[in-house]
Amino acid sequence: MTSSEAVTATPAQGTPLPPRPPERPHGLGSSVPPADATAKAQGTFPYAADLWAEGLLWAAVLRAPHPHARIVAIDTEQAAAMPGVRAVVTHADVPGEANHGRGIADRPVFARDLVRHYGEAVAAVAADHPDTARLAVAAIAVEYEVLDPLTDPEQAFGAEPIHPDGNVLRHLPLRYGDADATGDVVVEGLYRVGRQDPAPIGAEAGLAVPRPDGGVELYTASTDPHTDRDRAAACFGLPPEQVKVVVTGVPGSLADREDLSSQLPLGLLALRTGCPVKLTAGREDSFLGHGHRHPTLLRYRHHADSEGKLVKVEAQILMDGGAYADGSHEALAAAVAFAAGPYVVPHAVVDGWVVRTNNPPAAHVRGEGALQVCAAHEGQMDKLAAQLGLDPAELRARNVMATGDLLPTGQAVTCPAPVGELLAAVREAPLPPLPKDSPEEEWLLPGGPEGAGEPGAVRRGVGHALGMVHLLGAEGADEVSTATVKVNGPVATVLCAAVETGQGFATLARQVVQDVLGVEEVHIAAVDTDQPPAGPGARGRHTWVSAGAVERAAKMVRTQLLQPLAATFGMSTELLSIADGKITSYDGVLSTTVAEALDGKELWATAQCRPHPTEPLDDTGQGDAFVGLAFAAVRAVVDVDVELGSVRVVELALAQDVGRVLHPAQCRARIEAGLTQGLGAALTEHLRVARGVVRRPDLTGYPLPTALDTPDLRIVRLVEERDVVAPFGAKSVSAVPLVTAPAAIAAAVRAATGRPVNRLPIRPAAVVTE
C-alpha cells in the first residue's frame, strides 16, 4: 500500500475511516501547489550556492585536526603571500565580541588559545579562486600542543574543566509525587542514543557583500535571520542596523541552519577586503561545521502494580553537549519533562545533566530530547510487559495519557491528547502479509538480493511506540511573530520574516489570505532583516505564531475593506462574507467583487501573534514550561535475519494527533519525512567519533536511508481535534513521527529476536541470536 492510499485505510474490524470532505481549490484545507514547486523540481530554484556578484572572492575555512589542543602559534605569512589571496583572518582579526552562541555566548568565532573540538574553525581565507583559497588554507602553519581530550560524558563531572564555565552545562532534577513509592514489579534498563546529523540536502553556503556605510549584507540560508544578524553584528563590532541578513533558498533546515557556520567568516572577509565573498562548503566541512543530535546515556527504573499500572518512573539522563552550549538547555528540558512518555505516572524521580566534552557540538535537531527518552521509556514498557506477561500494546493502553492529565512537571495537559485513540488505530490496522519463500521474492529478505541469508533465518517482529513533543519554544521563550498583509487590486502581498524551510509556511500564508480576503493571487515577499522579526523556524512555530500573525493582519485588512460597504447598507461587517473574490451580504442585497470594493485603493495592516506565556522549570522540575503538545503512535513491522544481523523495516503504520489538516498533501509529506528520518536514526545514521575525532565525515561513512530502504508508510489515522488556543487549531506534524519511529522499530526488533536492543542506531551484533 502506498502512503497516499494509507489515509483511507480500513481498520481490522471492518469499520471504514470517515471520508475526508472534498478539497477546495484554494484556501485552508486544500492541497494547493507550492509556488516554488516547479522551480525546485526543475533545478532552477536559487540557493545560496548559486549566487554571484561582480568582483567575487572565494572563502575557505581552516579547521583544527585535533579535538583538544593548545594553540601555540599561527603563521599566516605564507598563505597571505600566495598569488590571488586577498585576506587571511584569525581570532586576532575579530573586531567585536570574540564569542557567540544561542543563549550562552561561549563559542569563539575562531579558536584562540584552545581548540575544543575536532574541526573547530581556526582561520579563514579569501582568494580570487576557490582552489586558491583551499591551497592557502593548507599553507597556514599552526603549532599545536596536543592535549588529552575529554570524550566520555560520564567523566565530565570530575575532569579538568575544558571551558571557563565548567563542564556541567545544566543539571535539571525533577521530583513529582512520592519519591519513596514502589511498585509490585520493577524493571531496569540502560539505553544509548547515538549522534545523528541533520545531513541537509545542500551543504552550507553564503555570500557576504560589503555596504557603502561600512556594514555588510549576508545572503545565507538562515532560519532565524534577526538573531543571526544581532550575533554577527556583535562579532563584527557593528550596530545591528549596519548588518543585513537576506534569506536565500533553504535546502533543508535543522541545526545546520541555526549555527553561524559560514556567516561570520564571510562577513569578516568581506569587511576586510571590501569585496563580495562567497563560501560553498563541501560535505566534510558541513559535517564538521554544524551541530548534531545529543548523544545520550539513559538509566531507567520503572515501577508498576500487578495489573500493569505505572506507579513510578526513575531516570538518570546524561546528554553529551559537545564543546559548546548551543541548544543544550532546551534539549535537556524536553528530555527531563518527557522522560516518562505520554503515560499517566503518579510519581517520578528524574535527574538530567548535559555536559561539555571535546566531542563535536550538539545542537537543535528535530525532536531534540524527546527522541532520546522515547527510545528509553518505550524500551522500559516492553520490559515491563514481558515481566507481567502482558501484550506490550495492551500495557501501553492501560497507562495512556489523556486531556486533563498532568505531566510529571505538574503542568496540566490542556490541549487535545487522544493518545488512546492513536494507539487503538495502529493496533487495529491490518498487518502486512508475510513474505513468500520463492526466488523471485528473495529481494524482500533483509540484506537485499546480494547479501540475504537463508529464509529460515528471518524472523518477523511487530512493535508499538507512543511519542510526544512540545510545540514552540519552552521555559519562558517569547514566541512573538509579526506579519504585514497588503492588498492592491486583485493581488495580495504578505511580508513576514518567517523563513520557508520546506515546512510549507509560504503556502500556508497564501491559503490564509485566500480564505480571509478572497484574493486568489497572493505573493510572499522575500525575507530579510529589514522586516520585523518572526523568530526561528522550529517546533511548528511558523504554523502557529507566524501564520497566526498573517491571519490577524488579513482580518484587519478585511475590516478596512468591508467597513465602507457595511456603513453604506447600514449593517455590520459581520453580516458580509468574502468568498472566491466576491463580497456578499447575508440577505443577498449586496453583491460585488473585492476588486470593485477596493476601487484602486491599497489597504494594509500589520499584526502580531504571541501565544500564552510559559515559565522555566524550577529546581524540582515543576512549572508550566510548554505552550502545547503533540502525540503519535507508530507500529513497526520488521524482518530480521538473526544470522546476519540485518534488519528490513517492512512497514511503519502511524496514527497522529494533528489538530487540523491545513494542507493534506503537505501534511502527508511532512509525516512521511519524519518517519523516514526516524528510520535513519533507528538503523543507519550515526556520526562516528573516536577519541573526539570524526571518522569519515561524508555520506559514505554516514549512510542515509534511500528510497530502497524506505518501507511502506501507512497513515492509518489523523485525529483532527482542534487545539482551541492555536490559530487554526493545527499542530506541528513532522517532529513527533521522527521521535516515535525509532522506538517502534527497536520494539519490533526486540519482538523478532528476543534481544534487549537498547542502543540506537541498532547494530547488527545486537540482533544476532545464538
Same domain flag for 529 and 635: no
**Mean of the per-residue pLDDT values for the chain?**
91
Q: 655 with 717: CB under 8 angstroms?
A: yes
Q: What pLDDT was estimated at residue 539?
A: 82
| Closest residue by Cα to residue 172 from 295, 334, 368, 345 | 334
Same domain flag for 519 and 575: yes
Question: How far is residue 296's CA from residue 610's CA, in Å, rounded to a whole number?
Answer: 33
Question: How far is residue 536's CA from residue 494's CA, in Å, rounded to a whole number?
Answer: 18
Q: What pLDDT was estimated at residue 216?
A: 97
Q: Is residue 534 a part of any domain in this protein?
A: yes
Same domain flag for 582 and 635: no
Question: How many domains is the chain built from?
Answer: 3
Q: What pLDDT was estimated at residue 439?
A: 52
What amino acid occupies position 426? V
Question: How far is residue 625's CA from residue 629's CA, in Å, rounded to a whole number?
Answer: 11
Q: What pLDDT was estimated at residue 7?
A: 36
Residue at which a domain ends, from 268, 284, 300: 284
Residues 537-556: tens digit of each pLDDT = 888 889 999 999 999 999 99
CA distances 101 to 195, 402, 692, 720, Å, are 21, 38, 21, 38
Q: Is residue 410 a part of any domain in this protein?
A: yes
| Closest residue by Cα to residue 548 from 725, 719, 720 | 725
Q: What pLDDT was estimated at residue 260?
A: 80
Q: Helix, strand, or coil here: 609?
A: strand
pTM: 0.93
| Closest residue by Cα to residue 580 from 26, 32, 23 | 26
Cell of 644: 546476519
Question: How far is residue 360's CA from residue 67's CA, in Å, rounded to a whole number?
Answer: 8
**Residue 197 bridge partners (DSSP):** none
Q: Give the rounded percent of residues in the chain with a pLDDT score beyond 90.
A: 74
Q: Is residue 162 a part of any domain in this protein?
A: no
Question: How far is residue 482's CA from residue 547's CA, in Å, rounded to a whole number?
Answer: 9
Q: Helix, strand, or coil here: 685?
A: coil
Residues 303-349: tens digit of each pLDDT = 999 999 999 999 999 999 999 998 899 999 999 999 999 999 999 99
Q: What pLDDT was estimated at residue 435?
A: 66
Mean pLDDT across 387-398: 98
Same domain flag for 639 and 753: yes
Same domain flag for 748 and 670: yes
Residue 174 has pLDDT above 70, yes or no: yes
Q: What pLDDT was estimated at residue 285?
A: 93
Residue at which a domain ends, from 568, 589, 609: 609
Residue 735 has pLDDT above 50, yes or no: yes
| Closest residue by Cα to residue 381 from 308, 299, 460, 459 | 308
Q: Is residue 184 a part of any domain in this protein?
A: no
Same domain flag for 389 and 425: yes
Most confident of the following: 41-45, 595-599, 725-729: 725-729
Mean pLDDT across 558-581: 85
Residues 24-57: tens digit of each pLDDT = 567 888 888 887 888 888 888 888 889 999 999 9
Structural domain of residue 451, as residue ranges? 3-23+292-475+616-766
Residue 455 has pLDDT above 80, yes or no: no
Same domain flag for 273 and 235: yes
**Cis ω for the linkage preceding 761 (within 30 of 0):** yes
Mark out the alpha helices in 253-412 (DSSP H runs): 255-258, 263-273, 283-289, 328-337, 370-388, 392-397
Q: What pLDDT was estimated at residue 438?
A: 52
Q: What pLDDT was estimated at residue 449?
A: 54
pLDDT band for position 457 (50/70/90)? confident
pLDDT band for position 9 (50/70/90)? very low
Most confident of the following: 114-123, 251-260, 513-522, 692-701: 114-123
Residue at which a domain ends, from 252, 284, 316: 284
What amino acid occupies position 716? V
* Sequence-ordered list of residues with C-beta below 8 angstroms from that of 700, at least 6 positions apart, any chain: none
* Sequence-ordered list of residues with C-beta below 8 angstroms from that of 252, at least 6 positions apart, any chain: 198, 199, 200, 201, 202, 501, 502
Question: How far is residue 277's CA from residue 266's CA, in Å, rounded to a whole number?
Answer: 6
* Sequence-ordered list of residues with C-beta below 8 angstroms from that of 710, at least 6 positions apart, any chain: 676, 679
Question: How far is residue 75's CA from residue 611's CA, in Å, rounded to a whole number?
Answer: 52
Q: What pLDDT was estimated at residue 4?
A: 33
Same domain flag for 264 and 302: no
Q: Is residue 163 a part of any domain in this protein?
A: no
Q: What pLDDT was estimated at residue 579?
A: 80
Q: What pLDDT was estimated at residue 318?
A: 98
Q: Is residue 745 a part of any domain in this protein?
A: yes
Q: Helix, strand, or coil here: 641?
A: strand
288-300 in b/e form (b: 16+ CB < 10 A) is bbbbbbbbbbbeb
Q: 270 with 210: CB under 8 angstroms?
A: yes
Mean pLDDT across 157-170: 96
Q: The domain that contains 115 carries what CATH number?
A: 3.90.1170.50
Listing DSSP states for 714-747 in one string gives: EEEEEE----TTSGGG----SHHHHHHHHHHHHH
Residue 595 or residue 717, greater confidence: 717
Q: Is residue 555 a part of any domain in this protein?
A: yes
Residue 419 has pLDDT above 80, yes or no: yes
Mean pLDDT across 113-140: 97
Residue 445 or residue 108, greater confidence: 108
Cell of 693: 575525532
DSSP 8-state secondary structure symbol assigned to residue 642:
T
331-364 in b/e form (b: 16+ CB < 10 A) is bbbbbbbbbbbbbbbbbbbbbbbbbbbbbbbbbb
14-28 in b/e form (b: 16+ CB < 10 A) is eeeeeeeeeeeebbb
Find the distance separating the first CA and the last CA of the chain, reported in whole Å: 35
pLDDT band for position 17 (50/70/90)? very low
Mean pLDDT across 749-767: 94
Residues 625-651: tens digit of each pLDDT = 999 999 999 999 999 999 889 999 999
Q: The domain that contains 336 carries what CATH number?
A: 3.30.365.10
Q: What pLDDT was estimated at residue 11?
A: 36
CA atoms within 13 A on the CB side of 660: 17
Residues 68-96: tens digit of each pLDDT = 999 999 999 999 999 999 999 999 999 99
Residue 190 burial by CB count (10 A; 0-12/13-18/19+): exposed, middle or buried?
middle
Q: What pLDDT was estimated at residue 444?
A: 66
Mean pLDDT across 273-297: 94
Residues 669-724: tens digit of each pLDDT = 999 999 999 999 999 999 999 999 999 999 999 999 998 899 999 999 999 999 98
Same domain flag for 89 and 218: yes
Same domain flag for 699 and 746: yes
**Residue 142 bridge partners (DSSP):** 74
Question: How far is residue 45's CA from residue 744's CA, in Å, rounded to a whole number?
Answer: 37
Question: How far is residue 254's CA from residue 246's CA, in Å, rounded to a whole number?
Answer: 18
Same domain flag for 594 and 681: no
**Angle, in degrees to the nearest 10, between helices 370-388 and 735-753:** 30
Same domain flag for 301 and 223: no
Q: What pLDDT was estimated at residue 6?
A: 34
Residues 193-233: tens digit of each pLDDT = 999 999 888 888 999 999 999 999 999 999 899 999 999 99
Q: Is residue 639 a part of any domain in this protein?
A: yes
